[in-house]
Every structure is written in structure tokens, then in C-alpha cells.
Amino acid sequence: MSIELRNVSFSYAGDRPVLRDVSFSAEQGGFLLIIGQNGVGKSTLLKLLNGILKPTSGQVLVNGVNTATQPTSRLAKEICVTFQNPADQIFASTIRAEVEFGPRNLRRKNVDQLVDDALVLCGLDALASHHPYDLPSAQRKLLTVASAIASGAPYLAFDEPSAGLSQIERSVFEGLLTALKKEDRGMIVVSHDLALLLPYATAVLILARGEMIYYGNAEVVTQQDGLIRKAGLRLPLPYRLEKLFGK
Amino acid sequence: MADRIVIQSFSLQYSATTPGVLSSVSLDIPSGTCCAILGPTGAGKSSLLQCLAGTMQRHHPESVASGTIQIGERLFEALPSHVLFPSVGYALQDPHVQISGVRDTVFGEILFTLENTGEVPDEPAAVILPLLRKLGIDHLADRKPTSLSGGETQRVALATILVAQPPVLLLDEPTTAMDLAAQEKLRGILRGMKQSTTIVLTDTQLDFALGICDQIVVLEQGKVLFDGTPAAFLRRLDEFHTSLPLENWLPLRQQILRLLDQPSRLGSRLALTLGLK
Amino acid sequence: MSTGQSLSRKLALVLLLWVCAFTLPWTIQASLCVVLIIARYAVLPLRPITPRSAKAFSRFILYSIAVATFIILLNGLLIKEGAVAAKVFGIPLHKEGLLFGARTASRLLLLSFSILLFFVSTSLPDLIEHLQTKGLPPYLALVLLLTLHFLDQLPARIHQIFLAQQARGAPVDSGLLSRTKALFSILSPLVLSSIVESIERGTALELRGFLQRPQVARVIKRSESETDWLTISLILLALAVLIYRIVQWLIA
């Protein structure tokens, strides 16, 4: 059971390729962190995972099924992709109704249980009857995470899930990463927030100009500064200090 | 040219019946320096910036404030009643919102600010192009402002404020969704501006502020928990682990402090990296 | 010719054409429609300012001609007065009906062509700017600008929201009933987020001094300070046509 990309390339009609020959595999219980500069094709990659975009060449396989042959509404049962801007998806008048949307669409059997669990995990259970826009923007971000968890999909993909979260929400987020791993869910996360997420990553994929320049375990990334710099990125200051002290 | 900011015993409530947002805040930010106000969401950081920019009274007419705010020579009892631009420039958190879309080119978008202030020079290019060059976006002068990438939009949004040469610049969480390389670029730009502009920025994390700020203020639930130099802040790091995400810093704290206290090449390099010199 | 002059002239032309649409015979109205289509290519200030708007205008002309033909034929069919002017597949079309249809269609075409040509050939921010120099309050200008921006971003916004909801399993690619139910999940974020964003945009404009904007911000060029005879002539012509028609109606 996995999500696999096999030699996937993608270009928008008539344009130069956004992604070139990308291959990786995300397992259940694993955490794949995808990093790269803005504009390098990370959002496009996420849209390929649930069939919103079909690859120009190569294959995207969700549990062995080719996404090119499936509509997104069916693939959403296996993988829930959450985009960066909560304002693009929040529509309901209560937090509970918002989180219920996913599992109801996907006709899950135990919708109430899924919703309750997701709300508790994200620290939103006490606010279930509030309007989403009563929450500060950091908690609205967590609301989109709760919506994804409640969908019941075995794989969850997020675009910058920790952007805009402050200390309390970051602690909640770390807690739910641990819980999701225990549930054996597969996580695919696109993020700049190496400080928060690198410790949880079981695999890292580095994209530069649409190409994969690294795919492997996370330790190598912190040890080889050159790799990060090649992608036009920097390690967080604490990691660099550690290396400084190591000398 | 930069203005000093002095806030004395400033308190704020959104209305007489709601709990206080800011509680007896006193700050002294010398001119030509950078002050980083750090704290969790809801601490009152944005509210403080709105008070300094002059939008608080306008957007929340029922708000109740006490204390004084002094910006340069101007003293305000409680809240300024109107927007203080161009004396105070305020860059909002989302740079896309700052691009008005009223003009078709980046050059025109920046000129729009000068038209608003009524200070259009005879040769607008002589003022705008050097500014674009300083921010590394001169190649974008003829591009449509709404078609730029996130990092480019951020710098264009900054240019639309800086063109008016405000003595005070406020930045609301400028690093949201910015990768670290882009953050370093922004740090470089702000460092270059310090002489002519007093900068106040807010953030929920420590990383960006170190290396650029001369003063750190920690705000939580409207109260000032710390106000001092970055070096002094690092010594008291463990007091703030509930307010700020310091999980990566705390393990390094002892080593950092030991190195800073002992004169050594490594210590100097560290101080330079952290911007403590 | 400055932007302000160009705008005044175009507005005066639209006024004249609208007066003609309600006062002159349908044959002249139809001829004016043809003149407008030619002007869209021949007259520089009337050319569409973006390829997108040029395409939209051309498409609109084609659809309107189709609709006009339909209106004429339908009226010829239903209004059974006067001699039979023609037969379509053996069905008689009556002269009075056809004429009534022609009058209705030509009026609609002239009204819509003139206003649409104005908007595709005018930069709307320039228009708002021009209205401000003529006394439009800054606050109203702010509202118009925000509305314009909203409309401009609308297709992209809807697409983003569509993708976000589709990724949560919203039934956007199944039956009509399901898609109708999913519509709310697309419209609601659109409205909610637009309200929130408009507030922030308004604040951002305020923070750039927009509300303190001087009434006459730009240096007035020499040509603008000269009397704009063309605009005045167009307005006088519109008045003349109106008066002529009123007099005709009084005499008759």
C-alpha cells in the first residue's frame, strides 16, 4: 500500500516542463517532506497526487491504481490533499459542519466519530459550534488540518501546514503528527518549516527547478549543507549553530 | 531622518466591555534601530502596530486607550485619530493584499503611492528605479504587479511603502511562508535601511529577528515580558519557552552562552551569526 | 490627447448613441451598429485594450447578431399583421412583425454595442481616476476599485476554491443534483473570503494614503486645459437629436 510516482513529468499546455522525471514512493506510517524554493513545482506535485492534474508522462499510482484513469472524487478516498490557503475551502457556518464535509462526501460510515477525533486532535473540540471566522487565522489553519484528518483517508498531503502557526498551535501540530504516525497514516508534506518538521520526516525529497536533486533519509540533509544550498535553501539557524559547535 | 518611538503606559481595549488587548505597555525604540516584537498569536502584536500606524481608532471607533505614543516629535494622547502615512509606513502580513492592481506595471504601482501623498517628483524614474535596484527588483519594473511570485510580490509591496521614505517602518510577520533564503535576502535589505528608518517588526519565532534586530520585546497577552538586547534575551531563553517556539534553541543555550562569554574566534563568529555585534 | 480628454469624448459618444437608440429610425440605428463594429478596428481610442477583452467583444457581436436574428424572426412569426413578407420552411413571416422585431433588435444592439465598446476600450482604473478629478469622493472610488479587483480575480479565485473542495471529495464531477449541492461549498468561501480580503485591501490602500489623495494629483497638460470642442460637440449633437425628436412628436 503506497503512493508512487514513476518517472513523472508535467508541463502545462504548451509551456516548458514544471516537473521532470520525478520518482518517489510514500508509505503508510511514513512522513515524506518535500522541500524546495517557491515556484519549483511543489504545488503542482501535490495536484498530481490526487488526480487534479494528470502527468504528461510517467505514472502516479495510488495503492496501485493509476490516477490517470480515476476522477479526483474517487481518489480523495485514498488521499486527502489540503492546500495552503484556508480561505479557499472554509465555507460552513460551524466548525463541526466544516470538518464533516469531507467524510460525508466520501460516504464514510462513522462520520461523527471521525469528526470528534479530528477535533480533539487539533484542539478544536471546545469550539465545534463556533463560526470558523471567529477563530484567529492560526487556528483556521488547524481547522483545515482537522478537515483532512476527519476525511479518513489513509494518506494526507499538506501544503505548508505550519505556516502562520504560533507556539501553541505548533505544539498541537507536533502532537497530531505523532498520533497520525500511530494510526499508520502516510503523510506527504510540502514545507519550508524545516525546524519543526525535519525531526519527524522519514524521507526527504528536494526539488530544484522541477528536478529531484535528492530523495532519501532526513539525516543526510542536515549533514550535507551543500545539498540544501544547491536547492537555493538554508538550514534553520539552530542546525547551523549545531554544526558550528560541532567544530 | 529616522524617528524615535516612545510608548508610555499604553493600554488598549477594543471596547469598554471587552478584556484588554494591551496592558500598560512601555517601550523606547531609539531612532535608526530595529525592534522585534515576538509573541504568540493573540499577544497583541498586530494591535500594537495598528495603534502606531493610526488605523486602530479609524477601524475600531469604540476602542478605549490610555497612555501616550510619541513618534518623532509628535505626541499622541492615547490613539492617533488618523492614518499616519507617510510618517509611518505599515507593511501588512499578506503582500498580495498590498498590491492595489490599480496600475498595470510595477513602476506605476509604486508611483501610485507618490500620487497619493501628492509628492510626485518631476522625474519619477529618478526616485523609483534606484529603490527597485536596492530591493533587487529593477528587472520587474514593467511587469504586471499581480503576476509576480510570492517573494517578488513581497518586495514590490515593500517598495510601495518605502518610496514615501517613512521615518518609521512597521512590518507585520514579514516571514510568513518565506523560505530561509528569501528571509536572508529580506534581512539584508532591512539592514541596509536601518540608518534612515526605525524598523519595528513582529514575529512568532526567534529565527528571523536574530541577526537583524537591536532590541527584542516579548509580548504575551498584552503584557511586555521582556525588553532588552538579543544577548540579554539569549541568557534568559528558558523563561519564554511557552510563548515562543524555542525547542530547537534551548538545547544550544548553554553552549551559546559559554561561547559568548569567552572571547574566542568561535565566539566572535557566533556573535556575528546571531547579529549580536 | 490626454486620458481625461479621451474618456470625456468616449462618454459623450456613448450618451449620443444612447439618445439615438431611443429617438432615431431603426435603419439608422442598425447602420450605427455597423459603424461601431468598424470603429472598433479603425478608431484607435475605441480599440480593446487587452487581447482578452478583444476576444470577448468579438464573441459578443456574434452572439448578439444571432439573438437579433432570432428576435426578428420570432416577431415576424407571432405578430400576424400586414402582408406576408417571406416564408421560412413554408411558415409565413409577416411584415409588421418583422419590422417590430427589427426595431427592438436594433435598439438592443446599439445600446449594448456602445456601452460594451466603451468598457473594453477603457482602462477602468483610469476611469475611476478621471471620475475622482471630476469630484467622485475618494471613499466611493475605493469601493469601485475594490469591486473591480474582485471581478478581475474572480475566475482564478473560483478555480482555486473548486480545486480545494474537489480535493476534499466534493462531488464536482458527478450528477447535476450533486453538483448543485457542491455549488454552495464553492460560493460560500468565495463570498466569505472576498469580504475579508476586501477589508484588508481597503486597509492597505488607506495605509498608502489613498483617502488623503489630492483631488487633482497629476500635472494638467497643456492640451487638457484647452477647451475640448469634440466632447462639447457630441453632447450638443445628442441634445439636438433629442430636441428634434420631441419637436417631431409634438407636431405629429
3 state SS for chain A: CEEEEEEEEECCCCCCCCEEEEEEEEECCCEEEEECCCCCCHHHHHHHHCCCCCCCEEEEEECCEEHHHCCHHHHCCCEEEECCCHHHCCCCCCHHHHHHHHHHHCCCCCHHHHHHHHHHHCCCHHHCCCCHHHCCHHHHHHHHHHHHHHCCCCEEEEECCCCCCCHHHHHHHHHHHHHHHHCCCEEEEECCCHHHHHHHCCEEEEEECCEEEEEECHHHHHHCHHHHHHCCCCCCHHHHHHHHHHC
Same-domain status, C232 and C189: no
Q: What cell numbers appear for A231 in the block?
A: 536547492
C246 touches chain B (CB under 8 A): no
pLDDT tens per residue, range C171-220 = 877 677 777 777 888 888 888 888 888 888 889 999 998 888 776 544 44
Q: If you average pLDDT over residues A108-115, what whole number do you get?
A: 94
B61 contacts chain C (CB < 8 A)? no
Mutate to test the interface with B, among A167, A193, A228 (most CBs of B within 10 A): A167
Residue C220 is assigned to a structural domain of this protein: no
- Whether C191 and C232 map to the same domain: the answer is no
- B207 and B148 both lie in a single domain: no
Domain shared by B197 and B114, yes or no: no
Confidence class for position B275, pLDDT limits 50, 70, 90: low
B39 and B127 within one domain? no
Q: Are C102 and C142 in the same domain?
A: no
Mean pLDDT of A6-19: 88
Mean pLDDT of B64-88: 93
Q: What is the pLDDT of residues A182-221, one digit of tens each?
A: 999 999 999 988 888 988 999 999 998 888 999 999 888 8
- State the nearest Cα–Cα gap between C28 and chain B, in angstroms: 39
Question: Over the stretch C88-136, which tens digit does the pLDDT of each residue have?
Answer: 888 888 889 999 999 999 999 999 999 999 988 988 878 887 887 778 8
Residue B114 Cα, gap to closest chain C Cα (Å): 9
Q: Is residue C104 domain-shared with residue C203, that is, in the same domain?
A: no
Q: Distance, in angstroms, between A196 CA and closest chain C CA?
A: 25
Q: Quote the pLDDT of residue B177.
A: 67
CA–CA distances in Å: residue C123 to residues B63, B145, C40, C157: 40, 16, 15, 22
Q: What is the CATH number of the domain that holds B49?
A: 3.40.50.300
Regarding whether B105 and B175 lie in a shared domain, the answer is no
* pLDDT value at A152 more than 90: yes
Is residue B5 within 8 A of residue B71, CB to CB? The reply is yes
- Looking at the structure, tell me whether residues B41 and B171 fall in a common domain: yes
Above 50 in pLDDT, residue B43?
yes
B127 and B237 co-located in one domain: no
Question: Quick one: average pLDDT of B182-210?
Answer: 88
Q: How far is B27 from chain C (nearest CA, A)?
A: 23
**Cβ <8 Å between C169 and A88:** no
The string of DSSP codes covering C76-139 is HHH---SSEEEEETTEEEEHHHHHHHHHHHHHHHHHHHHHHHHHHTS-HHHHHHHHHHTT--HH
Residue-level pLDDT at C222: 44
| Distance between CA atoms of residues A181 and B36, nearest Å | 36
Q: How many domains does chain B have?
A: 2
Question: What is the overall mean pLDDT for chain C?
Answer: 85
Which residues of chain B lie closer than 8 angstroms to C204, CB-CB? 92, 97-98, 100
Contacts of A43 in chain C (CB under 8 A): none
Closest B-chain CA to A139: B41
* Helix axis angle, B106-117 to B150-162, nearest 10°: 30
Q: Are residues C85 and C19 in the same domain?
A: yes
Domain that holds residue B128: 95-165
Q: Is any Cβ of chain B less than 8 angstroms from the Cβ of C149?
A: yes
Which pLDDT belongs to residue B63? Answer: 93
Q: Are A77 and C188 in contact (CB < 8 Å)?
A: no
Q: Does C155 touch chain B (CB under 8 A)?
A: no
- CB contact under 8 Å between B100 and C208, yes or no, is yes
ipTM of the complex: 0.86
Residue of B nearest to C210 (CA): B116
- Same domain flag for B72 and B175: yes
Domain range for residue C20? Answer: 3-122+225-251
User: Which pLDDT belongs to residue C1?
Assistant: 59
C169 and C240 share one domain: no
Range B78-106 burial, b when 16+ CB lie within 10 A, else e: bbbeebbbbbbbbbbbbbbbbbbbbbbeb
For residue C250, what are the contacts with CB-CB under 8 A and spacing of at least 6? none
pLDDT at C217: 45
Percentage of chain B with pLDDT > 70? 98
Domain shared by C21 and C99, yes or no: yes
Sorting pLDDT into bands at 50, 70 and 90, what band is B224?
Answer: very high
Stronger pLDDT, A158 or C153, i.e. the higher one: A158
Verify whether the Cβ–Cβ distance A244 to B269 is below 8 Å. Answer: yes
B123 touches chain C (CB under 8 A): no
Is C216 in CB contact (< 8 Å) with chain B?
no
Is C219 a domain residue?
no
Question: For chain C, how many structural domains are there in total?
Answer: 2
> What does the radius of gyration of chain C's CA atoms come to, in whole angstroms?
24
Report which secondary-structure segment, H or E, holds B191: helix B180-193
Q: Does A111 touch chain C (CB under 8 A)?
A: no
Whether B222 has a pLDDT exceeding 90, the answer reads yes
Instruction: Say yes or no to pLDDT of A50 above 80.
Output: yes
Please indicate, yes or no, whether residues C36 and C116 belong to a single structural domain of this protein. yes
User: Residue A58 has which C-alpha cell?
Assistant: 510517467
Hey, are the CB atoms on A52 and C160 less than 8 Å from each other? no
- Across the interface, whether the CB atoms of A245 and B42 are under 8 A apart is answered no
Residue B147 and residue B231 share a domain: no
Last residue within a domain, chosen from B143, B165, B187 = B165
Provide the whole-model pTM. 0.79
The pLDDT of C151-156, averaged and rounded, is: 82
Instruction: Report which of residues B206 and A150 the model is more confident about.
Output: A150
pLDDT in tens, A119-138: 999 999 999 999 999 988 88
- Lowest mean pLDDT segment, chosen from A56-60, A172-176, C226-230, C245-249: C226-230
Domain assignment present for C218: no
Please, what is the average pLDDT of chain B? 88
Q: What average pLDDT score do residues B155-165 get?
A: 93
Q: What is the mean predicted confidence (pLDDT) over B207-231?
A: 91
pLDDT at residue C221, rounded to an integer: 46
Neighbours of chain A (3+ CB pairs under 8 A): B, C
Q: How confident is the model at residue C149 (pLDDT cuts 50, 70, 90)?
A: confident
**8 Å CB contact between B249 and B265:** no
Burial of A69 (0-12, 13-18, 19+ CB in 10 A): exposed
Task: Say if residues A19 and A204 touch (Cβ distance below 8 Å).
Answer: no
* Least confident piece of the model among A97-101, B89-93, B269-273: B269-273
- Rounded CA gap, A37 and B181, in Å? 8
**Hey, are the CB atoms on A73 and C170 less than 8 Å from each other?**
yes
Task: Tell me the per-residue pLDDT of C28-72, one tens digit each, with 9 for 90 and over.
Answer: 999 999 999 999 988 888 888 888 888 989 999 999 999 999 999
* AA letter at A160: E
Q: How far is B177 from chain A (nearest CA, A)?
A: 6
Residues C232 and C197 reside in one and the same domain: no
Q: What is the predicted pLDDT for the residue at C175? A: 74
Beta carbon pairs, A and B, within 8 Å? 84
Query: Is position C200 within any domain?
Result: yes
Least confident of A55-69, B134-148, C136-150: C136-150
| Rounded Cα–Cα distance for residues C114 and C122 (Å) | 12
pLDDT given for residue B50 in this prediction: 95
Kindly state whether residues B183 and B74 are assigned to the same domain. Answer: yes
Nearest C-alpha of chain B: how many angstroms from A246? 11
Please give the Cα distance from A42 to A221 (Å, whole number): 18
Torsion from C-alpha of A208, A214, A217, A223, nearest 10 degrees: -80
Could you say which of B92, B103, B117 has the minimum Cβ distance to residue C204?
A: B92
Do C246 and C197 lie in one domain? The reply is: no
* B150 neighbourhood in chain A, CB within 8 Å: 38
Query: Could you give the strand order of the β-sheet that contains B74-77, starting from the edge strand earlier in sequence?
Result: B20-29, B5-13, B64-71, B74-77
Write down which residue in B106, B133, B165 finishes a domain: B165
The pLDDT-based confidence of C26 (bands split at 50, 70, 90) is: very high
- DSSP type of residue B19: P
**Is residue A173 within 8 Å of A142, Cβ to Cβ?**
yes
B242 touches chain A (CB under 8 A): yes
How close B98 gets to chain C, by Cα (Å)? 5
C147 Cβ under 8 Å from any chain B Cβ: no
Q: What is the mean pLDDT of chain A?
A: 90
